[in-house]
Structure 1
């Protein structure tokens, strides 16, 4: 508003316009929410060992292993699964960002906060975990041999 006092008709028009913007924002937010809830991503590793599917939260909902895993050491299979899971989550983050931009846009502080939260929750670093000299345990393992960098420990 520019500081002017509105006449009753002007005030009604202003409120109607404001309500229209709020209604559109609510519809756009509901559309975004629905599309994000329905999102699911499937990814395969380049060596053809595994295929993973994640739901809209990034949770693993399906894992398929091929017969090729019998020809590969177990730690390589595990690495392929975890890397493919990370790729699926990154793809999910990309698609989520696109849905947010398409439905609520990227201009409002609320839209930017939603996009940032989704990205922080889903995006994964795909660099392989370093091996410790103790025979394959992660460098982030505690003394009991548990990988404390696992999602279960976060």
Structure 2
């Protein structure tokens, strides 16, 4: 067969193949959307002070503080919460990008753009390095963020 655009049978076959690809992409996109909406991520800091759970949008849906909080300075607790929330968002970005790759793939520019957009929206920006002075020997280990503990 000539596969010329003027060949009606060939044109119908190409249209049918195109429609099949579009139908598959639509179904894959619906699957992706449903799976993304179901994602929840829970992260805990290494010291066991904080556990956060976020939904698919990165919104905090649960926060658990252990009794260690009572022996920890409030600024360390708040900083640990924020750091753990950032880690959860990074994990959510990774999981979301994995779902996108599994459902719609990464071959098309549109799929790559979606994955990049999700990553940019969810990932926390790298924490700025601060000059944390070494605590005195009598400083309580509990009163430092897990990132400061050596």
CA distance in structure 1 between the partners assigned to 2:6 and 2:15 by the alignment: 11
2:121 is the alignment partner of 1:115: no
Residue 18 of structure 1 is matched in structure 2 by 18
Q: CA RMSD in A?
A: 1.8
User: TM-score, structure 2 length as denominator?
Assistant: 0.81
Tell me the alpha carbon deviations over residues 87-117 of structure 1, each in whole angstroms, 9 at most, x when there is no partner. Answer: 0000000000100000001111110110111
Matched residue SS, 1:48: coil
The count of corresponding residues between Structure 1 and Structure 2 is 130
Structure of greater relative contact order (alpha carbons < 8 Å, 6+ residues apart): 2
Unaligned runs of 5+ in 2: 132-150
2:59 is the alignment partner of 1:59: yes
Q: Which runs of 4+ in 1 moved over 6 A?
A: none
Unaligned runs of 5+ in 1: 132-154
Residue 43 of structure 1 is matched in structure 2 by 43
